[in-house]
Amino acid sequence: MAIYTCHDMIRDCRAGNHAGWSYLVTYYLPVLRTLLHQYYAGRAGDEQLIERVLLKLKSPQLPLYAANPSTEREWVCLLRQELLRIVELDKASDAASIPIDLETLTQALEPFTIIDRQFIWLETMGYKAESTALMMNLDTSSVTRARERAEEALRQHMDHWRRGLLLENGLALSLLAETSRGANCLPARAYLDTIDGRITWSHKKDYEFHLRQCWHCVDAFCRIREVDFALRGVKPLAEAEARPYHKLLGVPEPKKGLLQALFAR
Ligand SMILES: [Zn+2]
């Protein structure tokens, strides 16, 4: 029997088939929980919020089911964006006390390398130095040093400044970056090849040149890193854990096989 994959799920969700919603709960609810903890630590334990998110995700017309991603990681990036959109519509996060825009970042961080830029962007996404170092396979002290230098550079470039503005502006910066896509922006394949070590020297140079001047691509790259990291640590839900959510989404209980029925209590 052919293995059911993320691509089959996307097709089934688009068609509104139960198999798609069932797989979404079993395989991606754990990822959604991980991301909720990351972005909404105070709300991640709210079981009703999780149910509202799942019910909103059960909409065949959502763009994430129209996508044709080349890998699961690309699709989970879309799922992540949809999750943040749903949670923000449910109850919007507070705006930053002092806003930062991409121009200010570009000016303040002009001399920073593309590795430093990712360290800093992952700070806007709320990743502590230790997790960032694990995600990028580099050492924690390099992350901390780059972030300290960024704080100082911002302090010098801004009329009003206080420590921690990068994290406070995370959501706003991510929205600004998402909408700033340009004609020369890199395809998702570029980030995946870089993470997976399949990149050629000439491509590497081209990508680095672009990443030095484009926050849209730094953001997209960091989101792929985030998803790659999140998928490493999660396990699918056991049937008993998934059952209440399947019921919530109207997925019928699977028919028990003869042996299962014999041994069922
Ligand atoms: Zn770009």
Ligand 1: centre distance to CA 93 (Å)? 27
Q: Given a cut of 70, is residue 66 above it in pLDDT?
A: yes
Q: Is 2 left (phi over 0), alpha (psi -120 to 50) or beta?
A: beta
Which pLDDT does position 253 carry in this prediction? 85
Q: Given a cut of 80, is residue 264 above it in pLDDT?
A: no
> By CB neighbour count within 10 A (0-12 exposed, 13-18 middle, 19+ buried), where does 211 fall?
buried
Ligand 1: centre distance to CA 41 (Å)? 30
pLDDT tens digit string along 133-183? 999 999 999 999 999 999 999 999 999 999 999 999 999 999 999 999 999
Ligand 1: centre distance to CA 178 (Å)? 10
Ligand 1: centre distance to CA 179 (Å)? 11
pLDDT tens digit string along 68-77? 898 999 999 9
Across residues 180-205, what is the average pLDDT? 91
Query: What is the residue whose two structure tokens read 């680095």?
Result: 208
More confident residue, 72 or 233: 72
Output the average pLDDT for the chain: 93
Q: Given a cut of 90, is residue 201 above it in pLDDT?
A: no
Ligand 1: centre distance to CA 79 (Å)? 21
Ligand 1: centre distance to CA 177 (Å)? 9
Distance CA 41, CA 91 (A): 14
Ion ligand 1: residue ranges with CB closer than 5 A: 185, 214, 216-217
Ligand 1: centre distance to CA 248 (Å)? 40
For residue 52, what are the contacts with CB-CB under 8 A and spacing of at least 6? Answer: 86, 90
Residue ranges covered by each domain of the chain: 6-93+235-253, 102-233
The region of weakest confidence among 112-116, 205-209, 214-218 is: 205-209
Ligand 1: centre distance to CA 222 (Å)? 12
Ligand 1: centre distance to CA 47 (Å)? 37
Ligand 1: centre distance to CA 158 (Å)? 25
Ligand 1: centre distance to CA 121 (Å)? 14
Which pLDDT does position 255 carry in this prediction? 74
Ligand 1: centre distance to CA 216 (Å)? 5
Q: Given a cut of 70, is residue 91 above it in pLDDT?
A: yes
Which pLDDT does position 2 carry in this prediction? 81
Which pLDDT does position 254 carry in this prediction? 77
pLDDT tens digit string along 113-132? 999 999 999 999 999 999 99
Which pLDDT does position 265 carry in this prediction? 46
Ligand 1: centre distance to CA 199 (Å)? 17
Share of the chain above pLDDT 90, in %: 89
Q: Given a cut of 90, is residue 258 above it in pLDDT?
A: no
Ligand 1: centre distance to CA 4 (Å)? 34
Ligand 1: centre distance to CA 86 (Å)? 26
> By CB neighbour count within 10 A (0-12 exposed, 13-18 middle, 19+ buried), where does 219 fall?
buried
